[in-house]
Copies of this chain bind each other. A is one copy, B any other.
């Protein structure tokens, strides 16, 4: 099996921009078009791996909105909240929970240039109380309208692209593979080229 040089260059250039230190943790979002839009945005922002908690154990389904991005962003499925949180904290992530309550702080007040995980909740109920109590910081995107909240994939993209904007301003967006460790880089390059 061989791969065309142009295709190889394209795959490599995308992997060169991937970041391990920017991710999302998505709780109980199951609508295919929301999941799909989140993954597509992760791909575009350069997220290496996205995290999901799905209590129903339903298989995640993606639709055309994803445009195949589920092949290019690793999906880390967590069985429950506790294991998800401890895994992410062990990896050194700061968890920013998105909530619309009174302790929550305007998202523009934080620096997302280090290990950052945005925690996103379900359309109807938002984050579970369990998860709310375990995040490091609650943040929200200020709302100026009649509707109380944003669509979850929209919220995800505003936050992820704010992180990208900040990292770009600091000159720390990876462009040569420095966002991954060598082993991971090699392993993923192989998997992406020979799926």
A165 CA to B108 CA, complexed, in Å: 8
A153 contacts the other chain (CB 8 A):
yes
Q: Do the beta carbons of B72 and A151 come within 8 Å of each other?
A: no
Cβ of A28 under 8 Å from chain B: no
Instruction: Report how many copies the assembly holds.
Output: 2
In the complex, which residues of chain B have a beta carbon less than 8 angstroms from the beta carbon of A164? 144
Instruction: Classify the interface of chain A: helix, strand, loop or mixed.
Output: helix
Q: Which residue of B lies closest to A18 (CB)?
A: B144
- Give min CB distance, A122 to chain B, whole Å: 13
- Nearest residue, chain B, Cβ from A149: B67
Q: A108-B168, A154-B153, A157-B157 are in contact. Are A146 and B68 (CB under 8 A)?
A: yes
* A49-72 interface (Cβ within 8 A of B): 65, 67-69, 71-72
Chain A residues with CB under 8 Å of chain B are: 10-11, 14, 17-18, 33, 37, 40-46, 65, 67-69, 71-73, 108, 141, 143-151, 153-154, 157-158, 161, 164-165, 168, 173
